[in-house]
Amino acid sequence: MSRPGANPLALAGRVLVWLVVAAGGVAFAAVLLYAVLSALKPAGQVLAVPLRWFPDPFRWSNLLLPFTETAFARYYLNSTIVGISVTALNVFTCTLAGYSFAKYSYPGRNVAFVVVLATAMVPLEVIYVPLYALVFQLGWVNSFAGLIVPAGTSAFGIFLMRQAIMQVPDELLEAARLDGAGELRSLVQVVVPLVRGPIAALALFIFMTNWDSHLWPLLVGSDDAHTTLPVGLAAMQANNLGATGIPMMMAAAILALLPTLLLFLTLQKRFVQGVAMTAGIR
């Protein structure tokens, strides 16, 4: 009967909602802009009254302060090493297990899969005391092994890869076998190229989650050689509460955000799918 928006009252209601949403958006953006601009201000201007938005002059050299004044480069390197290793390990273990659960039948398969799914119900927060005790006994405290190995697989990843690989027609695998391909070769040459999308989503998601990881690295990587960005940032923050430290802290926070932010901006769609999917199984 009435086209959307034809009714003036409905249109007014809609515009009102739009205004609220836009105002929220402005508030959201203001915080980001404030953080970025504060990173570029001379120290005296950060907490100036009245509030000044734009630095005068822009101190681009502030962006180097974390590197020259703290071990920021080391934290960055450590986070990169851990992030890439954990991601690679997850892609490896989850693809293999997903393939195994999707395309083979053997006694105990369903039990193993259900057990894996059940672990998705146990968040790190609940088990980190005994997990730390275990890693302590293994001698992995303050080591990359302690940061990487326990995070080496994920229920979400296995579930995702299993769902994706189930879509691969069995006929393709049979054909590869007839051509004499072994099980691993058909995985690498037939399955993996067909599930590149899900693998990318998995990699993106694991990397971003790991980049954010704070509690576990705080426990097992708190010495200088193994400090990751979240742990390092938190420690820097505690030592730089004065006004002069603020531009450096803002620069450090912005620089720490960059990798995941750029990944997000380039791969938005996959990230959004990943969030929607993890909500589905966690």
List, as one string, the DSSP characters of 38-93: HHTS-GGGTT-SS---S-SS--GGGGGHHHHHSSHHHHHHHHHHHHHHHHHHHHHH
- Which pair of tokens denotes residue 170? 């069995």
Q: Is 171 in the site for another protein (CB under 8 A)?
A: no
Listed ranges 1-9, 54-62, 66-74, 194-202: which one lies at the site for another protein (CB under 8 A): 1-9
Cβ-based nearer residue to another protein, 10 or 77? 10
Report CA torsion sign: 74, 75, 77, 78.
positive
Residue from 65, 91, 147, 158 in contact with another protein (CB under 8 A):
158
Instruction: Write the interaction track for another protein spanning residues 185-224; mark x where CB under 8 A is met and - where it is not.
Output: --x--------------------x--xx-xx---x-----
Residue from 65, 86, 116, 203 in contact with another protein (CB under 8 A):
116
Alpha helices (runs of H) in the chain, residue ranges in sequence order: 8-39, 65-69, 72-103, 109-119, 124-137, 144-148, 155-166, 170-178, 183-186, 192-194, 196-212, 215-220, 229-239, 246-266, 268-281
CB of 183 to another protein, least distance (A): 4
Q: Is 266 in the site for another protein (CB under 8 A)?
A: no
Q: Is 92 in the site for another protein (CB under 8 A)?
A: yes
Residues 9-68 that bind another protein (CB under 8 A): 9-10, 13-14, 17-18, 20-22, 24-25, 28-32, 34-35, 38, 46-51
